Structure 1
Amino acid sequence: MFLTISTTGSPERPATDLGYLLHKHPGKAQAFSTSHGTAQVFYPEATDQRCTAALLLEVDPIALVRRGQGKGRGGAPDSALAQYVNDRPYAASSLLAVALSGVFRNALKGQCAARPELPEQALRLRIEIPVLPARGGAELVHRLFDPLGWDRVETRPVVLDEQFPEWGDSRYVRLVLEGELRLADALRQLYVLLPVLDDAKHYWIAPDEVDKLLRAGDGWLAGHPEHGLISSRYLARHKGLTRNALERLELVRLAEADGAEVEDLDNAVDEASDTPERPTPLAVLRREAILAALRSAGAARVLDLGCGQGQLVQALLGDVSFTEIVGVDVSMRALSVAAKRLRLERMGERQSERVRLLQGSLAYTDRRLAGYDAAVLSEVIEHLDLERLPALEYAVFGSARPRTVLVTTPNVEYNVRWETLPAGHVRHGDHRFEWTREEFRDWAAAVARRHGYTVGFVPVGDDDPEVGPPTQMAVFTRTDATAASAGTTAGATTTETPKEGEAA
């Protein structure tokens, strides 16, 4: 089982920089033990002009059988002999993907301590796999790799036997990929797509495989036209795990719709501007309202659910009364941007102890989110389909159950005041809905009754006498909370309070 990674260099950037990225010295041959054999890394060529790293995986068929991994496809042995005589030692598969993740772990993560600037640079890469199983043929290989930015995807069928050409081609192909990509992106693609093309995995599929898939697929899988097929095959066609993966990928797609840099309408002005000609942006007013409500509630440990690129987390860090701040988002790309915005790597120890960024879906319960004083859902709910709101509702109000929950969302009635917004359009192309004040109050009151909260409402931005404020905020307070400020948030109007034990 074999693959090579080649790159070319220039006077400014020698090709041997590949050794830094892979964390493997070009002048050495190194061996690594795995549970199914030995992986060896060596460099057939290493000059400033061209450098090639080779990964050779020597699979031990006997060891595979002893570990219960030498079975035929689908998990059942085709015959006693098939456990020992199969393509595992020769054809790229999930065995090679596991070796990639183990031997090139830092490269997959995009980390390089010696040269931290290198992982972000695109390289001219050539990757070759001499024998690649392709259940679906060369056509499927192109469907999987063509959308990923490669300039050249070449597949050449491997004949069954060169001495008997009439036997035709096997199901294996020789694959060559050429293009300008970051090495981490290329390795993550291979990590996912090698077992997908083989359509089999050599190990038991556990629930954490979904997390592995989403981490490796961050930045490319959600928007891939074959993300359904990829998820199903990667997860060995496990229906429950595949459904979980597809739901989480849909949330990623929604979060990154219209481009990661696109802001919704009310965030489109420069937040640094605060002049008569350019009033304070609504995004700033919204954060100020949230901070005021959190202070009024006496919250110290705060969740920012759907934290995006970390603007609110950054504002919370500026107030020492918030002792623990956790940002949660389904998008690893957004969390990466947030980490850079917050300068987590350069943050002092005392400050860094106050903040964490977590990847997670708000459609599922998460034990990590329990026990906090407050949770904020700022401009989140409108990005979900209405039928998905009950899942989010239970995850936040039924499972995590913070003492205070703040929810902000656009007021659709105010849209007529946006001169640049065509009639009948929502503020952002990814919004699934935008509610009137009455619709938002009805939803919030029902949530409060079901889960044992009271709820009040705070206008954010100019409160127009005809159409109301541009943003509406609901302040939920748990009925069994002891906070003195329960139901008394400044400026809030409170709905009827459910009696003790009335919540569903």
Structure 2
Amino acid sequence: MQISLKVYGEHAGMVSHLIAKNPHNLYERKEKGGLVRIVFTKNEEREVNILFFVTVDNVELTKNQTNFSSITHYINDRESAVSSIFCSVLRKAVGTALNGKPKEEFKDWVNFAFSLEITFGPLSTNLSEKEIRELFEPLGYEVSIENGKVLLPAAFQKKSSAKFITLKANQTIQDFFRHLFVLIPVMDQYKHYFIDEKEVDKLKRYGEGWLSSHPKKSFIIKESLIFSDLIDKSRLLDSNSNNQKQETIVKKKSLNQWRYEKIVETVKILPHNSRIVDMGAGEGKLTAQLGFVNGIKELIAVEPSEREQQKAKKRIEALVDKPDFLFPTFKWGSLFYYDSELENKDIFILCEVIEHIDENRLFKTFETIFTKYQPYHLIITTPNQDYNVVYDMKEAKRHSDHRFEWTRQQFQEWVSYWQNHSTYEVQIDGIGEFVEGFGFPTQMAIFSKKRGV
């Protein structure tokens, strides 16, 4: 993965001093997570071309991670895609330029706007070309985007997520690096490291002078910090002078919050609710809220991903001293592996789980739940495809791992089938903000054992 920087104009040669690299030597350093090479492929009075090349060490990146044995460390696009890993490995090598601190005699050039042409890729992104342009064009860049060449039919080539991006602008070298080090991870939508307050500091530092006025500021901040509590603590969205707008931002409830609150309230009113299984518990956000529900005697969080389960344990550990909190039991497992210890519980919860299962495997999965696990109640939530139009998503799925997303009619038909072919009756509900003609963003079904069964 690489970035090509071309500098044009009378003072192009000053760039080598701003990045503190000798244009006549190959720069090669091993950094944590990979190898950095910087080479000047052209060094003339009015044109300088520099190549920043990073080779990722996947084995090095797995050290000290709880999921070091996961095969996805070795079979992925991280070695060849420009990403947050690229930025992390390259950061130290271009630190002089990022921080705007060259030698004293060159400091006057920090604020000089050079004529730049930047090309980087391949970048794997789910953002549309329009969305990518909306990130760079407000900063003064002319944007060109080329899809990656893939050995597939033409119709599929257009859908390739690999893109090569070329930017042209008059920018300072410091601003150029700061823009890229913020926006590349936003476009890549992948973070290979734990996101905490350090990420807030980095965003404030690299976003200084441009992020606060960027029209996509909110999107950039949310994609950079991801977690709502971290976004709130950063106060980066609180810079509006209009207090009413600030209040609206803080009070607006996320769809995840809607889901968790609805599920918790449903659990509270179900007649059998002392033994709960949170299947596909992920980072433990729902599990944490269930731990405070009065009357629950047993709470089991089941998750197939060791990495997600470690995050859940860390989340739960922060709550152990809270009064009346029930510490859950963590189990490795999934719906594909039968576990007799989960039989005959009061409530099974599948919160945003079924859409991650291939449709042809759903029948067997639910046959197992209804005939072997036999909980008193089964709570299911899943996206409503009809509502995607409200999000202006057209036919796109809400998550790249979703195998399907059902319309309200499809969900109704599926629920009706199991009501007619099992010993359960069902109630359908919705979660989130209702929109006439499209329903709720999340569909919910509550299966309960028929009386006398």
Give TM-score, length-normalised by structure 2: 0.51
Contact between 2:35 and 2:56, CA under 8 Å: does it hold in 1? yes
Question: Relative to 1, partners in 2 of residues 1:69 and 1:190: Cα closer, same or farther, differing over 3 Å?
Answer: farther
Contact between 1:200 and 1:233, CA under 8 Å: does it hold in 2? no
Residue 185 (structure 1) aligned with residue 175 (structure 2)? yes
In the aligned structure 1, how far is the partner of 2:88 from the partner of 2:246? 38
User: Share of identical aligned residues, percent?
Assistant: 25
Q: For residue 46 of structure 1, what is the aligned residue in structure 2?
A: 43
Residue 117 (structure 1) aligned with residue 108 (structure 2)? yes
In the aligned structure 2, how far is the partner of 1:112 from the partner of 1:52? 19
Alpha-carbon shift at residue 100 of structure 1 (Å): 3.5
Alpha-carbon shift at residue 155 of structure 1 (Å): 0.7
Q: For residue 76 of structure 2, what is the aligned residue in structure 1?
A: 86
CA offsets per residue over residues 177-228 of structure 1, 9 Å max, x none? Answer: 0010111111101000111101011111121211110111111111111111
CA offsets per residue over residues 14-62 of structure 1, 9 Å max, x none? Answer: x221100111111110112211111111111111121011111011122
Equivalent position to 2:19, from 10, 13, 22? 22
- Partner letter of residue 50 of structure 1? E
Equivalent position to 2:217, from 214, 220, 227? 227
1:84-483 equivalences under 5 Å are 84-114=74-104, 115-150=106-141, 152-161=142-151, 164-169=153-158, 170-235=160-225, 237-245=226-234, 247-251=235-239, 254=240
In the aligned structure 2, how far is the partner of 1:142 from the partner of 1:88? 23
Contact between 2:54 and 2:90, CA under 8 Å: does it hold in 1? no
Alpha-carbon shift at residue 139 of structure 1 (Å): 1.9
Q: For residue 489 of structure 1, what is the aligned residue in structure 2?
A: none
In the aligned structure 1, how far is the partner of 2:154 from the partner of 2:86? 29
SS at the partner of 1:250? Answer: coil
In the aligned structure 1, how far is the partner of 2:223 from the partner of 2:230? 11
**Considering only aligned residues, what root-mean-square deviation do their CA atoms show, in Å?**
2.5
In the aligned structure 2, how far is the partner of 1:222 from the partner of 1:188? 14
Contact between 2:3 and 2:118, CA under 8 Å: does it hold in 1? yes
- Partner letter of residue 236 of structure 2? R
Alpha-carbon shift at residue 8 of structure 1 (Å): 1.0
- Partner letter of residue 7 of structure 2? T
- Partner letter of residue 241 of structure 1? L
In the aligned structure 2, how far is the partner of 1:240 from the partner of 1:208? 14
In the aligned structure 1, how far is the partner of 2:82 from the partner of 2:173? 19
Alpha-carbon shift at residue 383 of structure 1 (Å): 8.3
- Partner letter of residue 201 of structure 1? K
Question: Relative to 1, partners in 2 of residues 1:104 and 1:178: Cα closer, same or farther, differing over 3 Å?
Answer: same
Alpha-carbon shift at residue 9 of structure 1 (Å): 2.4
Question: Relative to 1, partners in 2 of residues 1:229 and 1:384: Cα closer, same or farther, differing over 3 Å?
Answer: closer
SS at the partner of 1:127? Answer: strand
In the aligned structure 2, how far is the partner of 1:100 from the partner of 1:94? 10
In the aligned structure 2, how far is the partner of 1:92 from the partner of 1:216? 18
| Alignment size in residue pairs | 246
